[in-house]
């Protein structure tokens, strides 16, 4: 009996932890064709214009971060385990900055969504077991 309770408790805790660790649901503005986003969320003309602006700004920011990444790999010493560890830490920082840039533009687009569009986003996120980003009005 005790073993069953313990197993159930472990299962519940594991499920709770995995649910809390869900990945955020990205709109993938830089990776997804604009037409797909426009059609799925039935964006209005002004929203489409903003989407295109966001894509252009995102491209510039990610290009700069990609250059930093290339420079890091070309210039950072990689001869000792300590060098590689330091490189990994610096790369992780760049990777996190890149994720934050994508998230920033996702949030900007979500801020333009009306309630129906945002609910469509939430529904799609739930279908793929992702955590939707909160909608913040600008």
Give 11-52 pLDDT, tens digit per residue: 343 433 444 446 999 998 988 889 999 999 999 999 999 999
User: What is the length of the chain?
Assistant: 138
For residue 112, which of 138, 133, 90, 94 has the smallest C-alpha distance?
138
d(CA 127, CA 22): 13
9-20 pLDDT, tens digit each: 333 434 334 444
Structure tokens at 50: 């903003």
pTM summary value: 0.76
Structure tokens at 106: 């996702």
Structure tokens at 47: 């929203």
Long-range CB contacts (within 8 A, 24+) of 34-40: 37/109, 40/120, 40/124
111-135 pLDDT, tens digit each: 999 999 999 999 999 999 999 998 6
């Amino acid at each position: 009996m005790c073993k069953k309770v313990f197993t159930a408790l472990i299962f519940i805790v594991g499920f709770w932890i995995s649910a809390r660790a869900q990945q955020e649901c990205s709109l993938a503005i830089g990776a997804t064709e604009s037409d797909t986003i426009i059609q799925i969320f039935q964006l209005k003309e002004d929203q489409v214009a903003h989407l295109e602006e966001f894509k252009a700004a995102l491209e510039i920011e990610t290009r700069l971060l990609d250059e930093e990444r290339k420079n890091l790999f070309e210039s950072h010493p990689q001869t000792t385990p300590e060098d590689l560890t330091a490189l990994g830490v610096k790369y992780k920082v760049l990777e996190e900055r890149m994720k934050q840039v994508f998230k920033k533009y996702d949030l900007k687009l979500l801020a333009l969504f009306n309630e129906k569009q945002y609910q469509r986003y939430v529904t799609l996120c739930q279908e793929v077991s992702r955590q939707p980003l909160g909608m913040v009005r600008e």
